[in-house]
Amino acid sequence: MTDDVGIVRRADADRPWREVPEHVRRTVRSATSVDLVIDAMTDAESPWPVELQRRLLHPASGGPAVLVPRAGGRGLVLGGERHALAPALRFLGLDVARADWVGDRLRFQQLAHPVTGAAAVHVGLPARLPFPDATFDLVWVDLDEVLALVGVRTSARVLGEVERVLAPGGRVVADVRHRGRRAVDAARRRTAQSAGVAADVVPVRLLLARAGLVPTGRHALLPDRADWSRLVPAARLRDELATTDLRTGGRRAVARTLRALGGSGVLAPDAVVLARRRGDAARDVTPDVTTLAERVARSDRPVVGALSDARVSVRGQRFVKVPLSADQQEALGREVAATHEAATTGFGPLVLDEVATSSHDGVRVADAPLLRARSVALDEAEAVLARALRGVTVPDERRPLRTTAAWRRLESARGEQDCVEIGAASLRDRVLRTYGALLVPVGPTHGDLHPDNVLVTAQGSARLVDWNRFEPDNPLVLDAAYAACQVDLARTGSGLAEAVRRLAADELAGPLATIASSRRGELTLAQVATLVVLDRVVSYSLPRRRYKPWTLSTMRAAVATVHALAG
């Protein structure tokens, strides 16, 4: 029987969706469209936790798709919390199907991360998979969850089914988590640690061997800022940890000892394990097959990172951004074009050279030189930002605000929709009625100046990155004012709302605030603060409410602040 979202029910019973509140599961069961799910998720009175929103919706959960060793053919995503993985695999060339023992989770994925025309099956665990022998060229399985739910002996049966439906020359990719990470996750979420056997109790190699599978690669997942991860080849794990370890004294010594024993310095890392059938590995039937990450990085040891905008970064001989959807591919093309245009302006000395697009398996990626950047203090980053802004010539003649790119976005239908969704409709109307004739210096702007977009090499060479919001005809005050707010936010730990309040009250100090004040033209500082907030509200890419709802509360607070400032 097929339900209203295209799921074929083959399971006698449902498995619980772990660490998801019951009211969320009820919403998913009753919703008939993704809009109804988002309505509940972003309800101003009772929004879902931000961490849960990210976990469920962020497209970066599909990032490890670049580790798939084969483009084309048929793929199966079996269980797991990588909600955006199936559409990413489809975009990268696989005819993909989903199967899951958690019915609510599968329904959510069908609603929020659909794959047109793809099969979706609610299966039992354990049970025979409802597919013929040798159906799939790739099977991606959450091995840790299987272990946690059914134990070691039954997990071997499940992997046997994976081997059965795997085509000759096909690949298995297994997600593996560990007991230490489970304990830390449970403590963070204040939940009971999940039951079952973790994948560090029984060696993954042994589990795979029981099903006739042989590991061919392993990428460790390292925790990174904002809870995203980098996938590092296991052989390089210790070096990577050593270079990112900022501890000193006794804590650093303990961390070194744990690393020597194979740990991360705190806990064992999660991993993505690649495997093949034993017979295929012995015959090496496809020795020329490499992963997309290896091809775009021009290296057999790439480091894969999930970026905050849901694209994937790959480091090897070059730094490459890989799209996970057609929308992202188009956005990357625009970013490369904008980078070239920025290089012809006063920003030129701080723009990366040799940024280009290239094609891999029909996917257009953005390709840039690899800079070995060092960590910089906030003061140094602020100095680089100020130097970049001083390089942009301020024109003698000012232009009305209504002739700028920021105004065109704000008055567009898309701008109206963005403002309505975040509660800024009346603020937008007021600005459109009263700000248009005000004269301001106009010129090129980066659009997203903040300390994290500054790279400084060991030799002291500075560069700015992420030019996807670059525009040649914008109010020059926007760059300096937003950067000043971001530096203040980083120093004080306050939110954007407090930073823009301080901007409007002329309480921000430093070179960026000084530049902002000198480039505001006829705008008051309160009006500058309002423009900064509305410029962040109006999206440059996909609708925030649908694709980045976890940013809504921060932006709503900033909107309320500038509303109050405007009286």
Contact assessment for residue 280 and residue 168, using Cβ atoms and an 8 Å cutoff: yes
Q: pTM here?
A: 0.87
pLDDT given at position 189: 46
Q: What is 8-55 written as a DSSP string? A: EE--SSPPP-TT--HHHHHHHHH-SSHHHHHHHHT-SSSPPPHHHHHH
pLDDT given at position 513: 97
- Please provide the distance, in angstroms rounded to a whole number, between the alpha carbons at the two ends of the chain: 58
Q: Percent of the chain, pLDDT > 90?
A: 64
Q: What is the CA radius of gyration of the chain?
A: 25
* Residue bearing tokens 């799910």: 37
- Beta-carbon-side half-sphere exposure of residue 417 (alpha carbons within 13 Å): 10
Lowest mean pLDDT among 74-88, 214-228, 250-264: 250-264
Query: Is the pLDDT assigned to residue 12 strictly greater than 70?
Result: yes
Contact assessment for residue 471 and residue 443, using Cβ atoms and an 8 Å cutoff: no
> What ranges make up the beta strands (E) of 384-507?
399-400, 439-440, 442-445, 454-456, 462-464, 471-475
Residue 423 region, left (φ>0) first, then alpha (ψ -120 to 50), else beta?
left
- Tell me how far apart the alpha carbons of residues 194 and 509 are, in angstroms, rounded to a whole number: 49
Q: Write out pLDDT tens, residues 292-339.
A: 998 888 888 888 888 877 789 998 888 999 999 999 999 999 999 999
Query: How far is CA 169 from each of CA 109, 272, 280, rounded to the nearest angstrom?
Result: 29, 19, 6
Q: Write out pLDDT tens, residues 373-431.
A: 888 899 999 999 999 999 999 999 999 999 999 999 999 999 999 999 899 999 999 99
Contact assessment for residue 531 and residue 432, using Cβ atoms and an 8 Å cutoff: no
Higher per-residue pLDDT: 535 or 243 = 535
Q: Count H helices, E strands: the chain?
A: 23, 20
Q: Write out pLDDT tens, residues 335-358.
A: 999 999 999 999 999 999 899 999
3-state secondary structure of 3: coil
Contact assessment for residue 425 and residue 419, using Cβ atoms and an 8 Å cutoff: yes
pLDDT given at position 490: 94
Sorted by sequence, the CB contacts under 8 Å of residue 134 that are 6+ apart come out as 165, 166, 167, 168, 170
pLDDT given at position 221: 74
pLDDT given at position 197: 44
Binned at pLDDT 50, 70 and 90, residue 71 comes out as low
Query: Is the pLDDT assigned to residue 241 strictly greater than 60?
Result: no
Closest among 158, 124, 111 to 15, alpha carbons compared: 124
Binned at pLDDT 50, 70 and 90, residue 546 comes out as confident
Query: How far is CA 415 from each of CA 276, 408, 529, 553, rounded to the nearest angstrom?
Result: 49, 9, 18, 18
Q: Write out pLDDT tens, residues 499-527.
A: 999 999 999 999 999 999 999 999 999 99
Contact assessment for residue 424 and residue 457, using Cβ atoms and an 8 Å cutoff: no
Higher per-residue pLDDT: 288 or 11 = 11
Neighbours of 96 (CB within 10 A): 26
Query: Is the pLDDT assigned to residue 260 strictly greater than 90?
Result: no
Query: How far is CA 73 from each of CA 68, 95, 137, 235, 302, rounded to the nearest angstrom?
Result: 11, 6, 6, 30, 24
Cα 98–222–74 angle (5° rounding)? 20
Q: Write out pLDDT tens, residues 149-202.
A: 998 889 999 999 999 999 999 999 999 876 555 555 445 444 444 444 444 445
Closest among 421, 406, 417 to 556, alpha carbons compared: 421
Q: Write out pLDDT tens, residues 95-154.
A: 999 999 999 999 999 999 999 999 999 999 999 999 999 999 999 999 989 988 998 889
pLDDT given at position 408: 97
- Beta-carbon-side half-sphere exposure of residue 541 (alpha carbons within 13 Å): 20
Q: Write out pLDDT tens, residues 416-472.
A: 999 998 999 999 999 999 999 999 999 999 999 999 999 998 888 999 999 999 999
- Calculate mean pLDDT across residues 228-254: 57
